[in-house]
Amino acid sequence: MADSRSIAKKIASLCPGRWLTGYTKTKLRTDPLYNGVHQELQDQSGPLLDVGCGMGIFGLYLRERGWNAPITGFDYDQSKVTAGLKMIEKGGYQNISLSRGDARSELPDHSGNVTILDILQFFVDAEQRQLIKEVSRRVSDEGILVIRSGVKEKNLRFLITWIGDIFAKCTFWMKSAPIHYPTKEFFVETLEAEGFKVEVRPFWGRTPFNNYLIVAKRT
């Protein structure tokens, strides 16, 4: 199996333009996100719905790691979906589909595993609750739900997380500015109400951000 450096190099080489190539390579090499979520998913054989998939980089990462179940990515930014579809074609990846839609009002039909990586800050509290309800219906009995999110806390990490998200909006990389960050208690309360056993743990790696990994399994 390829090592992390070659995976980062390969996926980045599929990106359109120098900025995205550099950004993707740096993200893959410095952010614990994709590797950490892959570790949670690696024993799962059911399909994956990745809500707010961006260009679908996580799906490509899973394929490079040898995870071969069907993957559906969903994002409201058409430019990212289009770029991602070209990358999938260029890389010859199988069984990954990406589609455009707003997760505040619709989600594809699905039963299996679900990931929500770094998108909840763009939703108000009621929308976050609704999304948790909707994705819960799409997690099968054997499947898992994995979320990464910045979490609201009174600390420097949280301030840096917020500044990072504002920066992403100012550079037009994100269509929206952050609106509302959930708390750790929010995840426990909403996911237990949907019948999950929930684990919430810090997920910082070497980054300065106040990110947590939330893993929900059926009890």
By CB under 6 A, name the binding residues for ligand SAM. Answer: 33, 52-54, 57-58, 75-77, 80, 102-104, 117-119, 122, 175
Shorter beta-carbon distance to ligand SAM: residue 76 or 187 = 76
Minimum CB–partner distance for residue 77 and ligand SAM (Å): 4
Minimum CB–partner distance for residue 155 and ligand SAM (Å): 21
Shorter beta-carbon distance to ligand SAM: residue 16 or 218 = 16
Burial 24-35 (b: 16+ CB within 10 A, else e): bbeebeebbbbe
Minimum CB–partner distance for residue 96 and ligand SAM (Å): 14
Minimum CB–partner distance for residue 100 and ligand SAM (Å): 8
Shorter beta-carbon distance to ligand SAM: residue 22 or 195 = 22
**Strand pairing category for 113-117 and 144-150:** parallel
Shorter beta-carbon distance to ligand SAM: residue 36 or 218 = 36
Minimum CB–partner distance for residue 52 and ligand SAM (Å): 3
Residue 115 CA: distances (Å) to CA of 37, 72, 110, 132: 8, 10, 12, 11
> What one-character-per-residue DSSP string does 153-169 give?
-SSHHHHHHHHHHHHHH
The radius of gyration of the chain from alpha carbons, rounded to an integer in Å, stands at: 16
Shorter beta-carbon distance to ligand SAM: residue 58 or 196 = 58
Minimum CB–partner distance for residue 80 and ligand SAM (Å): 5
Partners of residue 99 on adjacent β-strands: 74
Residue type, 134: E
> Tokens at residue 104, please?
């505040």
Taking a C-beta distance cutoff of 8 angstroms, is the pair 128, 181 a contact? no
Burial of 191 (0-12, 13-18, 19+ CB in 10 A): buried
Shorter beta-carbon distance to ligand SAM: residue 69 or 168 = 168
